[in-house]
Structure 1
């Protein structure tokens, strides 16, 4: 008797991905213990990614390339397009995939097992960052979740996300309602985590690394390791991007009227000083709690460019 395997729709956003996309697709199609269909949306590319993906899909019935939908200009809008346009009727779970990573063979099997036991609605995990010179580093995102972390950070790299079809359908419905504003969201994984947590869905962040997370000069968001990424992240905060995203996501997921959020949402200097004392409930990692406290004070005293 054949065993019914969990059906997973893998959403892959591609752009100028010829250097690595085949290796990634091989790792996705080689997943054990699940039935996978890969849906690819290609942002118009200069290296032949679009034509290559179409040829690849002709050889593999479990790979579907979506029709061209114009220029997205970033992975977030491309992923939102995938969530909007893919038909999830015949799948059980939905996963996100980047074009340049390497998945471990049991990545989806482990994730779906966690979700099938009914305790969680969504899953993410630690990853192993790796560089072309052979260096590797485990990125630990699995600290205990706190009350408001979802407004200030994602649940780890979006390429580890696996969600139940039911949750994704609810996310899609909300996305369609707020489609124009959603295009201003820079990180789809942050938004999805925030939506799920703010609406009472349960999220598992697995301490086990599920994939090799390739690091290169074109990473939109790479490994937060060392001093340089910390400086770059401070710059995005000082330039106003991070706080503007916090405000936008809070409004999109519908928590802007919560008494806690209302106390600081306008991000006036005194509000930021007050927010700093809630650092323990706003970030998961101890180091990030201290950084959050410092950023709130620095932004209040030095100034910021909040949209």
Structure 2
């Protein structure tokens, strides 16, 4: 064994799952930042979903000379959520101490994975804040508020591209994705992953220190979720009932993983989320304190419930 291979073998192994779609203009920089992670032995598993911009050829070129890159057979799935579920279900990860998630268009800080592995000593999963990079300005996106007992019913722990899961937590996520009949109906993979881990009673740590430059552009699937445009989108989802139905799916999946009394509590919340009447809104209003992390978000949730906008 070469000295380089021996040094890599002594480092903790981390499998990184990346979903791509028409990301050729960003991929070289993102992949380079992942492979340059210090203090860990990285394997990058990539699934491409229907790219037509040269992404697939670029990935093949990158993988040709880099044994740490594993390409799954290209597919046509139609959404980032479906692509990440495919990665969760199919990616090889044997021997990994942890599994991380990656978007195709960010830039990781060099110590990101090493720092988050240290945090996994006291938790089963970790996430972190990000710096949203708009090109002409940079803004901290703060998701590190104190967790609430049921915040996972209505929100994720932040961007999924900051998630790192222990082997135990990822095994549970994989089994749930494979076995739960509603996993494919969940709205987005990061919200689902957060709910699975939290509902099972595992500890999740949200680090206030940013770990990636979160590039914002016109092709973002979700993005930083700040500003008037995103606020308008959230309000439309509330008024049409889309968000309520999505949360009900998450609550039902979580209920099947939770022990009592949380299982009964989640089952009741799922039933309330399926309804659109004053009684259901008042019942949810009584539990607002457990459903959102930020005080402003709890106040906003109470307001839309009282006004019937939910």
- In structure 2, the residue matched to 1:56 is 62
- In structure 1, the residue matched to 2:25 is 19
Q: Which runs of 5+ in 1 are unaligned?
A: none
- Residue 72 in structure 1 maps to residue 74 in structure 2: no
CA drift at 1:295: 2.2
- In structure 1, the residue matched to 2:203 is 202
* Contact kept? 1:154, 1:194, Cα under 8 Å: yes
Task: Report Cα offsets for 1:142-173 as digits up to 9, x if no partner.
Answer: 00000110110000000000001111111111
- Residue 289 in structure 1 maps to residue 291 in structure 2: no
Find the aligned partners of 1:144 and 1:102 in 2 and give their Cα distance. 26
3-state SS of 2:85 partner: helix
CA drift at 1:73: 1.1
* Contact kept? 2:38, 2:111, Cα under 8 Å: yes
Superposed counterparts of 1:192-231, under 5 Å = 192-231=193-232
223-232 or 253-262, which deviates more: 253-262
3-state SS of 2:293 partner: coil
286-295 or 141-150, which deviates more: 286-295
CA drift at 1:53: 0.5
2:155 to 130, 153, 156: 153
245-254 or 122-131, which deviates more: 245-254
* Contact kept? 1:10, 1:37, Cα under 8 Å: yes
Find the aligned partners of 2:223 and 2:163 in 1 and give their Cα distance. 16
- In structure 2, the residue matched to 1:138 is 140
* Contact kept? 2:20, 2:103, Cα under 8 Å: yes
252-261 or 241-250, which deviates more: 252-261
Task: Report Cα offsets for 1:273-298 as digits up to 9, x if no partner.
Answer: 22123222100011111111122233
255-264 or 14-23, which deviates more: 255-264
1:108 to 113, 125, 128: 113
Query: What TM-score do you get using the length of structure 1 for normalisation?
Result: 0.92
CA drift at 1:184: 1.6
Find the aligned partners of 1:96 and 1:103 in 2 and give their Cα distance. 11
* Contact kept? 1:88, 1:165, Cα under 8 Å: no
Find the aligned partners of 1:258 and 1:39 in 2 and give their Cα distance. 38
Find the aligned partners of 2:217 and 2:299 in 1 and give their Cα distance. 28
Q: Which structure features the higher share of helix residues?
A: 2
3-state SS of 1:146 partner: coil
- In structure 1, the residue matched to 2:126 is 123
3-state SS of 2:140 partner: strand
- In structure 2, the residue matched to 1:94 is 99
Find the aligned partners of 1:246 and 1:296 in 2 and give their Cα distance. 15
Task: Report Cα offsets for 1:179-207 as digits up to 9, x if no partner.
Answer: x5322222100001001000011000000
Q: Which runs of 5+ in 2 are unaligned?
A: 1-5
CA drift at 1:257: 4.9
198-207 or 249-258, which deviates more: 249-258
Find the aligned partners of 1:225 and 1:209 in 2 and give their Cα distance. 17
CA drift at 1:89: 1.2
CA drift at 1:228: 2.1
Find the aligned partners of 1:59 and 1:237 in 2 and give their Cα distance. 48
* Contact kept? 2:155, 2:191, Cα under 8 Å: yes
**Which 4+ residue blocks in structure 1 deviate beyond 6 angstroms?**
none
CA drift at 1:261: 4.5
Query: What TM-score do you get using the length of structure 2 for normalisation?
Result: 0.91
Find the aligned partners of 1:101 and 1:137 in 2 and give their Cα distance. 14
* Contact kept? 1:276, 1:294, Cα under 8 Å: no
Find the aligned partners of 1:135 and 1:64 in 2 and give their Cα distance. 34
Find the aligned partners of 1:143 and 1:257 in 2 and give their Cα distance. 25
- In structure 1, the residue matched to 2:16 is 10
Find the aligned partners of 2:124 and 2:263 in 1 and give their Cα distance. 25
1:258 to 255, 259, 264: 264
